[in-house]
Chains A and B, each alone.
Chain A
């Protein structure tokens, strides 16, 4: 009985040891390599629980999640010899674990280094072909797809799958930014001046149009006024002609008298008269009749 207990205990201990050293799990976020005395024997593990022979097999696990290579900003020359500061990132994940182990020792940092070289090379080449303008606005997506292609090819040999290469920042160097700011300021000044000048132009147009309109209005009024006056004068002339035409001789006489009266209406007028005149007819006769 006691012997049985001992055997049972030994079995249990062996089982525990066997389970502990004889199994391993592969998580969803992992890929695993199984070695047998240093030789890779299996890599195609799905996530789950697996067995191994303790001390003969050993297992190495690598992160199967998507990793990011974040390239630090670097200078690249464009075709017009301008510097651009570029940083990019690469998204990749382990694809062929064995290849990954063989080429970079299943070390993400080493993989990143290798990728980084390729990306820089690609960036240098692609930027060298293009102008700043093209890089910034035109061919950005194209550059990214070219780099992605290159990185994918390189990744295949490293046992990794490159999902994407993206340019993140494409900026001008510090000193150049300064001159860009100056240019922007100048451009704004130009706009400001244009606005003000435009305002003056518009204002001048409006004022002159108003002045012209005023002149037109008054001229129109004056024309109408003169027409009216002309009509009135004509009417008056007709009235006079009608009335005076009844006896022209009398009119002349009547009007003359009025004219004399109006002409000599001042004390300052001096008349030098002859007694022969019609007015003095009796003046003379009386003189002769007197004595």
Chain B
């Protein structure tokens, strides 16, 4: 560092030869500079006789800069002054928002320059390396971004073993920022590659501890979370100067070779739901129908109640009224009823009157033939014979007949039960 003070004035005359280079804000590779300097000097020694005079003049002027004698020397002095100014001005630099400048003096870390205009001791004393600390960068595991929309899977990275010795295809992205510009620049040969290696190792470790079903379904966020923790922990130990912003699982799927089977399993799940839904539809149809049917049965029973009770009351009323009249004149009424009925009965059927006393011994009745003939004629006589009676009594009795058969039978059934 003491080199600078005497060097400031003495270097200029030499610098006039390589001044253009001095202004160049090249990479602060001192080795390179020294090597070139050496070459240059060696060249200078080689043709010492010629070079000496030109440089000697300049050297004289600087060393004794206070007393310019000749106008030629004065001109050289102006040039030297200009070059000196340019060299000093070359130390001005601007750090943009979102970036930091890492300042090194002779290779040693000096400071971090915040956004804004700055000045550093010019080359080759100090140099500045700017690092973008605000933009989010990303590394991907298991795929490569081909374009903004498209990605290409990298199977060797994506396929990994799970706890149950299945293989899953996981694609993960890590977004990160530079958190410590100096660490980022100085500590690792390739910080981003290091982050990628760390992430892949961590992801495989995490996935290796989970079951496949978990990884490809509800476990995604947990896997990302746990991976992040491991990566952050390792980054802290390493001092890479990188801060993880986000770890996102892009995709977690079974490998391509088994996709059809997985899809079928998913279909099967749907099938199960479908079967259940169909059964529920069946239930939803059957039960209301049954309830309807039950309502019908109930209503029919109510109808029966009404019919039976009404019928009983009707019958009872009819009988009671007749019985009351009968009680007034029993004999006549009974005879009348008897004769009326018998008249109707006999008038409505075929009959054979047999005198028991005369033909008791041997009598042949061709009953079958009589039945047949009476059946044949009966249909013709029926219309004339019954029509008159239907109007009077029989209509009542015939309707009674059909109805009365039901209750009596059901009554009997009930009793035997």
Task: List residues of A whose CB falls within 8 A of some B CB.
Answer: 4-6, 8-9, 11-13, 15-17, 19-21, 23-30, 46-49, 61, 63, 65-68, 70, 89, 91, 132-133, 136-137, 140-141, 163-164, 166-172, 177-178, 180-181, 183-185, 187-189, 191-196, 198-200, 202-207, 209-211, 213-215, 217-218, 220-222, 224-226, 228-233, 235-237, 239-240, 242-244, 246-247, 250-251, 253-254, 257-258, 260-262, 264-276, 278-280
Contacts and interface: CB of A to CB of B under 8 A. Distances in A.
A210 B287 contact: yes
A244 B319 contact: yes
B293 A202 contact: no
Given A89-B201, A140-B205, A9 B346 contact: no
Nearest to B315: A240
A9 B189 contact: no
A interface, over-half SS: helix
Interface of B: 1, 3, 6-7, 10-11, 13-14, 30-31, 34, 37-38, 41, 44, 52, 55-57, 59-60, 63-64, 104-109, 156, 159-163, 165-167, 182, 185-190, 193-194, 197-198, 200-201, 204-205, 208-209, 212, 234, 237-238, 254-255, 257-258, 260-262, 264-265, 267-269, 271-276, 278-280, 282-283, 286-287, 289-291, 293-295, 297-298, 300-302, 304-306, 308-309, 311-313, 315-317, 319-320, 322-323, 326-327, 330, 334, 337-339, 341-342, 344-346, 348-356, 365, 367, 370-371, 374-375, 378-379, 381-382, 397-398, 400-401, 404, 407, 410-411, 414
A164 to B, nearest CB: 7
Nearest to A171: B161
A128 B235 CA distance: 31
Contacts of A140: 205, 208-209
Contact of A240 (B163, B278, B312, B348): B312
A235 B315 CA distance: 13
6 closest pairs, A vs B, by CB? A267-B378, A199-B272, A243-B316, A221-B294, A27-B107, A225-B301
B41 A16 contact: yes
Nearest to B211: A137
Nearest to A234: B414
B302 A228 contact: yes
A236 B349 contact: no
Given A163-B237, A169-B200, A232 B272 contact: no
Contacts of B52: 6, 9
Contacts, number: 414
26 contacts: A8-B56, A8-B59, A8-B64, A9-B55, A11-B59, A16-B37, A19-B7, A26-B108, A47-B106, A48-B107, A91-B194, A136-B161, A184-B254, A184-B255, A191-B268, A192-B261, A200-B275, A214-B286, A215-B290, A239-B309, A239-B313, A254-B319, A267-B375, A268-B371, A275-B355, A275-B356
A8 to B, nearest CB: 5
Contact of B317 (A21, A169, A243, A276): A243
Given A218-B297, A220-B294, A26 B63 contact: no
A192 B352 contact: no
Contact of A235 (B105, B267, B308): B308
Given A9-B59, A28-B107, A247-B326, 7 more contacts: A16-B10, A177-B167, A188-B264, A218-B294, A228-B298, A258-B400, A266-B349
B87 to A, nearest CB: 16
Contacts of B159: 171, 177
